[in-house]
Amino acid sequence: MSSQRPSAWYAVPAFAFFALFAALPMLLVIYLSFTAWDGLGTPALNGGENWSRLLEDSEARASVWRTLVLMVVSWLVQTPIALLIGVWAAGKQRSRAVLSSIFFLPLLLSTAAIALLWQALLEPNFGAFVGGPLFLGDPDIALYTVVLVISWQFIPFHTLLYQGAARAVPASLYEAATIDGASRVSKFRHITLPQLRYTVVTSSVLMLVGSLTTFDTVLILTNGGPGTATRILPLHMYITGFSGFEMGYASTIAVVLVVLGTALSLAVMRWSGFRQMSSQQEGS
């Protein structure tokens, strides 16, 4: 361990920024979660009323469950696809570069455009699947449709991560394996995948925390509907706060979101051994 660390004063701007734009608002939200406030006048402290209401709010429970489903299913859908395409795109042939850039297009569209585009495509009377399943109208499949749209939007980003990481795998490892007569599949399993381990962690953290706070796509695409079939926790918070104007209770839900998000990131870090991260290359 080197003792030549920069002075702690260098951290002051960052800390000030964090205090002003993260810590302070968070403290305010925690305060608001103990108040009744309809947005008019001043918030009035109401003890733990919002919190006991949260425990009894079946809609909040259901929306936590939907959020978890969304999170897990979109991880399951996005990770293998992004991994495979990313590794494939790391190759050097010309066609790959062209195909990859076409593939990145969704990443360039704004979320609102994507949501409106899919809403139009899935419209039951005039969309692209007339007479097919009611993708956004059937409460049993609407949430999975949302997952597909979100995946379509974000797989390119994760592909980019995997592509970069796959390119950084030393060619010598593959050359050695080729001499030993390893097949493509076993090279992927025994070289590529282990080398990409930390990229998987990074991408997963981004995906999981990202799904937890997914909001805009769902707001525009379904607004939580049909009924409450896609009302995930952030949307439940938004509807409570900005349609029902129950700002106090909405703040309570916001605190839950912060806690869930933090716990999730910490858990992923811990399980994946991210904190002991070090280079796996020989000699370092």
Residues near another protein, by CB under 8 A: 38-41, 59, 119-120, 122-126, 134-139, 222-223, 225-228, 239-240, 242-246
User: Could you give the 3-state DSSP secondary structure of residue 35?
Assistant: strand
Taking the complex as a whole, how short is the minimal distance between the CB of residue 228 and another protein, in angstroms? 6
If the CB atoms of residues 73 and 136 are measured against another protein, the closer one turns out to be: 136
If the CB atoms of residues 141 and 173 are measured against another protein, the closer one turns out to be: 141
CA distances to 229, 244, 269 from 133, rounded to whole Å, are 16, 32, 39
Taking the complex as a whole, how short is the minimal distance between the CB of residue 198 and another protein, in angstroms? 41
Beta bridge partners of 35: 45
- 237 closest CA partner among 263, 210, 258, 206: 258
Taking the complex as a whole, how short is the minimal distance between the CB of residue 57 and another protein, in angstroms? 11
- Cite the DSSP H helix spans in 129-246: 142-167, 171-179, 184-187, 193-195, 197-212, 216-221, 233-242
Scored b (16 or more CB within 10 A) or e, 27-49 reads: eebeebbbbbbeeeeebeeeeee
If the CB atoms of residues 106 and 226 are measured against another protein, the closer one turns out to be: 226
CA 164, CA 2: separation in Å to the nearest integer? 30
If the CB atoms of residues 13 and 131 are measured against another protein, the closer one turns out to be: 131
Taking the complex as a whole, how short is the minimal distance between the CB of residue 120 and another protein, in angstroms? 7
Q: Phi and psi (nearest 5°) for 228?
A: -120, 20
Taking the complex as a whole, how short is the minimal distance between the CB of residue 135 and another protein, in angstroms? 7
If the CB atoms of residues 199 and 240 are measured against another protein, the closer one turns out to be: 240
